[in-house]
């Protein structure tokens, strides 16, 4: 590969950015989403760079392309270089320091946990804007932080557990009057989210009840609607206790069984790597972590103090 000054001066910066994104994200499609272009445009930029360098950067097998060792090493150097450029700009043009945070999370966690508390962050950090994106699937890009229970996260991210949610059935006090034993729950309409159908099985196993005794279940597309259905008296919902804690404390919902079990996966704080953590992201991360600790402690206090009619 030629590396003289004339070759280096002709290297297109845009193509270098495309190469770094493809290697970091693992595919042309993911790079295209991050760069807001088509996969074909990314491919053209890579071809252009290969022509200038007069060396292959990818092993092409049919419709698939895999970065070779030259591309991987170049991408590492480019990632470091882009980070240095970003830091230099932020150091020398301080008034343009980024003051926003993009967070991706489940809709129900946004509705029932984060949004009711976001005012405290806004009051203490009025100069930082927070942009919310909700969904079940973690995107490849376009976010700084995410809350996710997924085991599979993109390669350019790191995760740290915040806490493990608790699972328990919940219903209205009137519905609970119809329940004398845990087995009675099986005779009532059970409510679930289509994204969390396994939660009932997890709890039934903890309660030593057969999950094969399947009564009709009302299935909603998300947990927000599940909890609204439970509040309306439609049936018994399987809930992440942390998300209905306020309703349990107020008495709008009750636990018809004393049995509580942990979810099989923790909820993680996911952060994209390879980029400088701005003061805004650092401050929001610190606030979010503290709020998670408050929720965890509040949940534990509730479980210690609450008493169910069913033993």
- pLDDT of 133-161, one tens digit each? 998 887 766 788 999 998 777 777 889 99
Residue 11: predicted pLDDT:
73
Which residue bears the tokens 């919940």? 170
For 82, 150, 157, 235, the CA distances from 146, given in Å and listed in that order, are 23, 11, 10, 32
HEC string of 111-161?
HHHHHHHHHHHHHHCCCCEEEEEECCCCCCCCCCEEEECCCCCCCCEEEEE
Residue 311: predicted pLDDT:
43
Rounded CA gap, 149 and 268, in Å?
A: 6
Instruction: Compute φ and ψ for 209, nearest 5 degrees.
Output: -110, 145
Residue 245: predicted pLDDT:
96
Q: Which domains does the chain have, with CATH numbers?
A: 5-94 (1.10.10.10), 98-162+266-299 (3.40.190.10), 166-263 (3.40.190.10)
Residue 52: predicted pLDDT:
86
Residue 213: predicted pLDDT:
57
Residue 4: predicted pLDDT:
53
Q: Give the max Cα distance, the chain.
A: 83
Residue 290: predicted pLDDT:
96
Contact predicate 165/203, CB 8 Å = no
Cα 268–Cα 270–Cα 272 angle in degrees, nearest 5 = 170
100-105: strand order across its sheet: 129-134, 100-105, 145-148, 267-272, 157-163
Residue 150: predicted pLDDT:
83
Residue 9: predicted pLDDT:
53
Residue 308: predicted pLDDT:
46
Task: Say what the pTM is.
Answer: 0.69
Residue 32: predicted pLDDT:
83
Mean pLDDT, consecutive 10-residue stretches, the chain (311 aa), reads 52 85 86 82 88 88 84 88 74 62 93 94 93 84 86 81 95 94 90 92 90 72 95 96 96 95 92 82 95 95 72 43
The 3-state DSSP class for residue 44 equals helix
């Amino acid at each position: 590969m030629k590396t003289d000054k004339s070759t280096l001066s002709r290297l297109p910066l845009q193509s270098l950015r495309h190469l770094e994104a493809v290697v970091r994200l693992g595919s042309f499609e993911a790079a295209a989403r991050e760069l807001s272009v088509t996969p074909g445009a990314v491919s053209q930029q890579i071809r252009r760079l290969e022509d200038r360098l007069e060396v292959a950067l990818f092993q092409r097998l049919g419709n698939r392309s895999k970065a070779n060792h030259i591309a991987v090493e170049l991408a590492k150097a480019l990632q470091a270089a882009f980070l240095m450029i970003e830091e230099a700009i932020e150091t020398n043009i301080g008034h343009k320091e980024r003051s926003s945070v993009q967070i991706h999370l489940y809709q129900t966690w946004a509705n029932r946990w984060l949004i009711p508390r976001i005012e405290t962050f806004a009051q203490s950090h009025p100069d930082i804007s927070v942009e919310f994106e909700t969904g079940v699937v973690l995107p490849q890009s376009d976010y700084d932080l995410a809350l996710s229970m997924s085991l599979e996260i993109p390669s350019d991210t790191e995760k740290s557990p915040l806490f493990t949610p608790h699972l328990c059935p919940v219903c209205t006090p009137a519905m609970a009057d119809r329940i004398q034993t845990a087995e009675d729950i099986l005779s009532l309409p059970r409510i679930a989210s289509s994204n969390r159908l396994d939660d009932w099985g997890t709890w039934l196993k903890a309660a030593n009840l057969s999950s094969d005794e399947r009564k009709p279940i009302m299935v909603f597309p998300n947990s927000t609607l599940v909890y609204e259905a439970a509040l309306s008296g439609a049936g018994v919902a399987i809930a992440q206790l942390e998300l209905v804690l306020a309703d349990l404390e107020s008495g709008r919902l009750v636990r018809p069984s004393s049995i509580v079990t942990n979810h099989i996966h923790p909820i993680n704080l996911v952060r994209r790597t390879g980029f400088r953590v701005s003061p805004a992201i650092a401050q929001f991360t610190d606030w979010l972590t503290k709020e998670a600790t408050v929720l965890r402690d509040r949940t534990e206090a509730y479980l210690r103090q609450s008493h169910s009619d069913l033993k």
